[in-house]
Amino acid sequence: MMDGRDFMKGNEALAIGALKAGLNAYFAYPITPSSEVPETLAREFKSPEYPEFRMFLQAASELEAISMVIGAASTGAKVMTATSGPGFSLKQEGMSYAAAMELPFLVADVNRAGPGLGNLGPEQSDYLQATRGGGHGGYRNIVLAPNSVQEMAAFPGLGFSLAFKYRNPVVILADAFLGQLKEDIVFPKIAPERFPTPWAASGARGAERHVLASLHLDFEDQSRHAEHLARKYEEVESAEQRSDSYMASDADVVLVAYGVVARLCRRAVKELRERRVRAGLFRPVTLSPFPSNDLKALVDKGVKKFVVVELNAGQMILDVRLALEGRGQIESVHKMGGLLPAASDVVRRVEALSK
Amino acid sequence: MTVVQGAPAAEYEVKLGRLSTLTGRPTHYCAGCEHGILTRLVANAIEELGLRERTVLVDSVGCSVFAHDYINTDAVQAPHGRAPAVMSGIKRVRPDLMVFAVQGDGDAVSIGLLELLYAANRAEPITIFLVNNAIYGMTGGQMAPTTPEGMVTTTTPQGRDVAETGRPLDATKLLAGLDGPSYVKRVVLPIAPMGSTDLYSARGPLEGAKSVLNAFKVQMRGGFSFVEFVSTCSINWKMSVLESKRFATETLAKLFPPGLYKDKLGVEKG
Ligand SMILES: Cc1ncc(C[n+]2csc(CCOP(=O)(O)OP(=O)(O)O)c2C)c(N)n1
Ligand code: SF4
Ligand SMILES: [Mg+2]
């Protein structure tokens, strides 16, 4: 693999992107449509190009995989796992513990359709599970939503920065379409970031030892810990909101979409502009924290209508409502089951709304 | 009154006094509980091997969840049953560390059986001490996978019916049947009342001490080591400490016979 231009699938880009960000270890259980992630990493394991990639291991289940991730991350290593819905559910156990123990690592969820087994097509139905902290107890993940193969390659680096800065799991929420999509990309030539890990459990130093535990039987103790986490999430909320917009500042109606849906909405915006509808696009890049400030700024600029387009029955729209605090009209366009809405569908809906 | 008697193993030196591998915190374990004895044996062995600063303890979920309150090394808490996976994760990126866990029978043989079997089968160089007290101690005495037939627990008020719930699972035999592990041993840990005398045999703890040390040595030589300790839980068995010692050393020891089930590296021979 050379630096420079590459042509590959989103899942492959995620794997190579993680390696270029200095990935030390990968533990996972295979599941479609994420399997190219472990397959790519298995191929690159022990390659002289990635000397820091010390461990690739296929686990016996996602429960085992995420616990291996916990173990490796406890030593301060850069660790990743990837999965899709059914496996993401099993990983919630470990992610709750990791949030409590403040462990940094990456979990990629290549979202497939449906509850249960569903199917292998794209959906965005894990939105609430990912953004709310899908396991028990109150905690938050940081959630990044790539919308191109280029971003699939870049977000592991960003993800590690955020994970280590805040000592928190980071989810890269992609979907089956992005995972399988092939595009031209360029890997930036940057050295992997190094993060200090004075908290890591990797051997006591004299009297100083490191205990990573999530049990605080004393109520005052647990309360202090919960407040500490809550303050951390607030800090993330105020410092890490990221979004992108396209022709939104003078728009009458703004489409709100992330991931692959944002791309077809961009096409819809172009078409709408050609038809003299002043449309724009707002794309959350971080789903958690949700980029409420930037979205609110659009209302301040005079945008009155928002159309939330997503591949679920209406999950992100809840965050849009929270962000807009009752201002502006909010409509939903959705598609499920592995199907994508056509840009023309979106155009038709927006036109109907702007009449 | 009570006299503790038993022939000390010649190769084993009991370190007296305060160990730097112990925090010195007062224990929450019930009087007579083998979790407490094992804590001391583990600390003693880590000290003897001079490994305190290279050791990571993985807490399991059960009465040993607070093991890090007593054992003064680095520690990571695992979700219920997942200690062997957490240990594998640590060891896979830091093979220079010594990694061990104390697991209960519910933790290791019920909810965490997959993690235990797979870590053993992969021959992870880690060490697992299983405290088999035939019951869920921490949660107040429910049936465990190891509960003997007929034993009354809070979830088997009429006694365990093996036709309904299956026979007690023998983790030591399961692991010994795999190719991966290097060292598999079962020790009946409690001090044993000697007949109707007021004498007690300390053979269990002494054998335990030797086994803990050997288990760590096996890990240092790259092998997977597992020692099951047949133990008591007088409080949940609803017995006096004395009755519980008798039950463990006489009845449980028949269901879970002590012995060296596997020693690929020959550490017991020295
Ligand atoms: C996922 C999950 N399920 C159930 C529990 C409750 N729980 C805590 S400890 C335990 C069993 C402990 O028994 P054992 O492993 O035998 O340990 P002991 O206390 O007897 O040493 C259970 C069921 C839990 N903490 N997490
Ligand atoms: S409840 Fe049972 S296992 Fe737990 S400390 Fe007490 S005697 Fe030991
Ligand atoms: Mg038990």
* B41 backbone dihedrals φ, ψ, rounded to 5°: -65, -40
Rounded Cα distance between B188 and B186, Å, is: 7
Starting at the earlier edge strand, list the strands of the sheet with B3-5.
B3-5, B199-201, B192-193
Tell me how far apart the alpha carbons of residues A170 and A104 are, in angstroms, rounded to a whole number.
7
CA neighbor of B201 nearest in space, from B2, B67, B5:
B5
Phi/psi of residue B184, nearest 5 degrees: -130, 125
Answer whether B147 contacts ligand 1 (Cβ < 6 A): no
Neighbouring-strand partners of residue A174: A110
Give the long-range contacts of residues B220-223, CB within 8 A, separation 24 or more.
B220/B49, B220/B98, B221/B182, B221/B265, B221/B267, B222/B125, B223/B123, B223/B125, B223/B181, B223/B182, B223/B183, B223/B264, B223/B265
pLDDT of B4 higher than 60: no
Hey, what are B133's tokens?
A: 């007290």
**Which site among A63, A74, A222 would you substitute to test the B interface, given the most B Cβ atoms closer than 10 Å to its Cβ?**
A74
Residue nearest atom 2 of ligand 2, based on CA coordinates: B233
Q: Give the amino acid at B81.
A: G
- State CA A109 to chain mean position distance: 8
**pLDDT at res. B15:** 66
**How many angstroms from the chain centroid is the CA of residue A238?**
18
Res B1: pLDDT:
32
Taking the C-alpha atoms of residue A188 and residue A190, their distance in angstroms, rounded to an integer, is: 6
Residues 6+ positions from B185 with CB-CB distance below 8 Å: B172, B211, B214, B215, B226, B227, B228, B259, B260, B261, B262, B263
pLDDT of residue A1: 47
Residue B11 has pLDDT above 60, yes or no: no
Mark residue A76 as left, alpha or beta (left: phi above 0; alpha: psi -120 to 50; beta: remaining): left
- Residue B196's pLDDT is 83
Tokens of B223: 């092998």
Pairs of residues, one from chain A and one from chain B, whose beta carbons lie less than 8 Å apart: 132
Residue B61 CB–ligand 1 contact under 6 Å: yes
Between A92 and B7, where is the model more confident?
A92
Which residue has a Cα nearest atom 5 of ligand 1? B80
Buried b vs exposed e over B198-226: b needs ≥16 C-beta within 10 Å?
eebbbbbbbbbbbbbbbbbbbbeeebbbb
Sorted by sequence, the CB contacts under 8 Å of residue B95 that are 6+ apart come out as B125
pLDDT confidence tier of residue B83, bands split at 50, 70 and 90: very high
Distances from the Cα of B176 to the Cαs of B172, B180, B183, in angstroms? 6, 9, 8
Mean pLDDT to the nearest integer, A75-86: 98
Question: Between residues A163 and B15, which one has the greater pLDDT?
Answer: A163
**Which pair of structure tokens corresponds to residue A31?**
């599941």
Q: How many residues does chain A have?
A: 355
Which percentage of chain B shows pLDDT scores above 70?
94
pLDDT over threshold 60, residue A350: yes
Strand partners, B193: B200
Give residue B66 CA to ligand 2 midpoint distance, Å: 12
Q: Does B89 touch chain A (CB under 8 A)?
A: yes
Torsion A157-A161-A162-A163 (CA) sign: positive
User: Which pLDDT does position B16 carry in this prediction?
Assistant: 67
Query: pLDDT by residue (tens digit) across B170-202?
Result: 999 999 999 999 999 999 999 999 988 889 999
Contact A106, A174 (CB under 8 A): no
More confident residue, A192 or B15: A192
CA distance A166 to A234: 11
- What pLDDT score was predicted for residue A203? 95
Of B53, B73, B94, the CB nearest to A75: B94
Strand ranges (E), chain A: 4-9, 25-28, 55-58, 79-83, 105-113, 119-122, 142-144, 169-175, 182-187, 211-212, 243-246, 253-256, 279-284, 286-288, 305-310, 329-334
pLDDT at B238: 97
Is A205 or A27 the better-scoring residue by pLDDT?
A27
B54: which chain A residues are within 8 Å (Cβ-Cβ)?
Answer: 203
At B13 the pLDDT is: 61
CA-to-CA separations, A155 to A144, A146, B83, B91, B161, in angstroms, rounded: 7, 7, 30, 27, 54
Judged by CB atoms closer than 8 Å, whether chains meet at B89 and A25 is answered as yes
Mean pLDDT across B84-107: 98
The angle subtended at Cα A73 by Cα B58 and Cα A125, nearest 5°, is 110
Q: Whose CA is nearest to atom 1 of ligand 2?
A: B137
Mean pLDDT within B222-226: 99
- How distant is the alpha carbon of residue B221 from its chain centre? 21
Looking at residue B12, what is its pLDDT? Answer: 55
Both tokens of B192, joined, read 């044993």
Amino acid in position A106: L
Q: Is the confidence at residue A13, as pLDDT, over 70?
A: yes
Across A272-297, average pLDDT: 98
Percent of chain A's residues with pLDDT above 90: 96
Model pLDDT for residues B96-139, shown as the tens digit of each residue: 999 999 999 999 999 999 999 999 999 999 999 999 999 999 99
Interface pTM, i.e. ipTM? 0.96
Is the CB of A209 less than 8 angstroms away from the CB of B75?
yes
Three-state DSSP class for residue A236 = helix
Q: Can you spell out the DSSP letters for A161-178?
A: HHHHHHT-EEEEEEEHHH
* Ligand nearest the Cα atom of residue B233: 2
Query: Whole-model pTM?
Result: 0.96
**pLDDT confidence of residue B2:** 47
Give percent above pLDDT 90 in chain B.
91
Q: How far apart are CA B18 and CA B31, in angstroms?
A: 20
Burial-class residue A86 by CB neighbours within 10 Å (0-12, 13-18, 19+). middle
Mean pLDDT within B1-19? 56
B88 contacts chain A (CB < 8 A)? yes
What residue owns the CA closest to ligand 1's atom 2? B80
A256 backbone dihedrals φ, ψ, rounded to 5°: -115, 120
Q: How many angstroms separate the alpha carbon of residue A141 from the centre of ligand 1?
A: 27
- pLDDT tens-digit series, residues A234-253: 999 999 999 999 999 999 99
Q: Strand, coil or helix: what is B7?
A: coil
CA–CA gap between residue A354 and residue B267 (Å, rounded): 81
Minimum mean pLDDT range among A310-314, A329-333, B150-154, B191-195: B191-195
